[in-house]
């Protein structure tokens, strides 16, 4: 799959641009804060119906403007696809596929598979379990609509149960309703995550060994209440009184975690900056492979946002060798150093385009 053309109007600091892309490698170069990452985020938005960096739609509209428009022309399995997003302040956003509006945004998820590697990925190691659950959910939701629908239903029921808990409601019927919904959908979510991790770990380990020259052992361990508690509905009912005192639901798949291990220890405790970054890049490259296999060989779009910082020359060289091969499809790269970029591209035989980004203006 390839993004052939991108049109942006009033997205963050990008006031207006019309860009035609190379089928292989596209680079955005410029100083920090100029808008390079915003361009990648616009591409991300067209795949996921939301920004990677800001969950509030009104805040991605350029300050002082009343609307934004994103439009992408894609080549998907040799079929031309047009994706449109329009947002007006204080109105519901519109998402369209070939001029036909989606009834639900979830219908679009997975249609344009995409993998983003960025400095923000450090939160997967350093922050709480919600970030690691989000990683699993983003991958699985791109290929499993049953999982995505279950996740949406579970989160809605969880929010409603938490509202009852906070208000100290004694409405047994409403508690039963939401807890039954949570238990039913949790089983789908648990099974989806368990299956995903089982299939994903060998791919991830392969990439880590390639990037690190095989000197370290890594793995991922899925941790869930449902491994130990077969009946979530009984558990929710038994913890209802305690949860009322605390004010939120303490049991369920919303508490799942993905433990990231380096040589049998949490990488959060023992990993160096270089090891952490290699771990995260291997995680995202494995995500790419997994989605490609699920989509019958259709390559996701790969976004690499400032990933070469804090890596030694050998690991940078291995990354370049990987992404420059036939296995990867269309790639978008950001970098602050034009000389560094030129040096990398000189080692890659494929067609490329370089765009200079300065104060939200994009020049080819």
Residues 135 and 191 in one domain: yes
Domain that holds residue 305: 1-113+297-364
| Boundary-marking domain end, from 268, 294, 320 | 294
Identify whether 119 is part of a domain.
no
> What distance in Å separates the CA atoms of residue 335 and residue 29, rounded to the nearest whole number?
5
Last residue of a domain, one of 263, 278, 294: 294
Instruction: Clarify whether residues 84 and 223 are in a common domain.
Output: no
Averaged pLDDT score across all residues of the chain: 91
Q: Residue 252: inside a domain, yes or no? A: yes
| Domain stop point among 245, 278, 294 | 294
Q: Report the run of H or E that residue 244 belongs to, with start and end.
A: helix 240-246
Q: Are 140 and 283 in the same domain?
A: yes
d(CA 351, CA 135): 31
Compare 271 and 133 and report the one with higher pLDDT.
Answer: 133
User: Does residue 255 surpass a pLDDT of 70?
Assistant: yes
HSE-CB for 68 with a 13 A CA cutoff: 27
Mean pLDDT score, 344-350: 76
Say what the pLDDT of residue 174 is.
Answer: 96
**36 pLDDT more than 90:** yes
Residue 71 is assigned to a structural domain of this protein: yes
Domains identified in the chain, total number: 2
Residues 130 and 102 in one domain: no
Could you tell me the pLDDT band of residue 228, with boundaries at 50, 70 and 90?
Answer: low
11: closest CA among 259, 170, 29, 52? 52
Asked whether residue 118 is assigned to any structural domain, the reply reads no
Segment 23-35 shows an average pLDDT of 91
> With 80 as the cut, is the pLDDT of residue 321 above it?
no
- Residue 88: inside a domain: yes
Q: Is there a single domain that holds both residue 255 and residue 128?
A: yes
Same-domain pairing of 135 and 276: yes
Q: Which of 103-107, 212-216, 332-336 has the lowest mean pLDDT?
A: 212-216
Same domain, 108 and 170: no
Which CATH number covers residue 267? 1.20.1050.90
Q: What is the structure's pLDDT at 307?
A: 78
């Amino acid at each position: 799959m390839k993004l052939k053309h991108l049109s942006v109007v009033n997205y963050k600091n990008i006031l207006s641009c019309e860009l035609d892309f190379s089928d292989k490698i596209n680079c955005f170069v410029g100083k920090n804060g100029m808008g390079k990452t915003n361009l990648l985020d616009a591409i991300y938005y067209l795949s996921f119906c939301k920004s990677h960096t800001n969950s509030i739609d009104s805040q991605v509209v350029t300050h002082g403007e009343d609307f934004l428009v994103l439009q992408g022309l894609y080549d998907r399995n040799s079929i031309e696809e047009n994706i449109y997003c329009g947002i007006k302040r204080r109105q519901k956003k519109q998402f369209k596929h070939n001029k036909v509006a989606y009834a639900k945004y979830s219908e679009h998820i997975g249609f344009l598979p995409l993998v983003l590697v960025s400095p923000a990925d450090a939160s997967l190691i350093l922050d709480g379990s919600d970030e690691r659950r989000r990683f699993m959910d983003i991958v699985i939701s791109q290929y499993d609509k049953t999982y995505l629908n279950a996740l949406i239903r579970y989160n809605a029921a969880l929010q409603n149960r938490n509202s009852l808990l906070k208000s100290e409601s004694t409405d047994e019927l409403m508690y039963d309703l939401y807890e039954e919904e949570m238990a039913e959908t949790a089983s789908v979510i648990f099974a989806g995550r368990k299956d995903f991790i089982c299939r994903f770990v060998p791919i991830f380990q392969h990439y880590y060994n390639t990037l690190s020259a095989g000197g370290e052992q890594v793995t991922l361990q899925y941790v869930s209440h449902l491994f130990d508690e077969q009946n979530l509905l009984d558990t929710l009912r038994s913890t209802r009184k305690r949860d009322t005192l605390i004010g939120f639901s303490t049991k369920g798949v919303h508490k799942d975690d993905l433990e990231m291990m380096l040589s049998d220890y949490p990488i959060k405790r023992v990993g160096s900056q270089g090891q952490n970054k290699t771990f995260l890049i291997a995680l995202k490259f494995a995500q790419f492979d997994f989605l490609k296999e699920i989509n019958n060989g259709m390559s996701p779009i790969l976004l690499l946002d400032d990933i070469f910082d804090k890596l030694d020359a050998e690991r940078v060289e291995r990354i370049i060798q990987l992404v420059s091969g036939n296995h990867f499809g269309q790639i978008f790269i950001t970098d602050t150093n034009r000389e560094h970029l030129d040096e990398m591209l000189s080692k890659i035989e494929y067609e490329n385009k370089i765009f200079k980004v300065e104060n939200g203006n994009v020049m080819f």
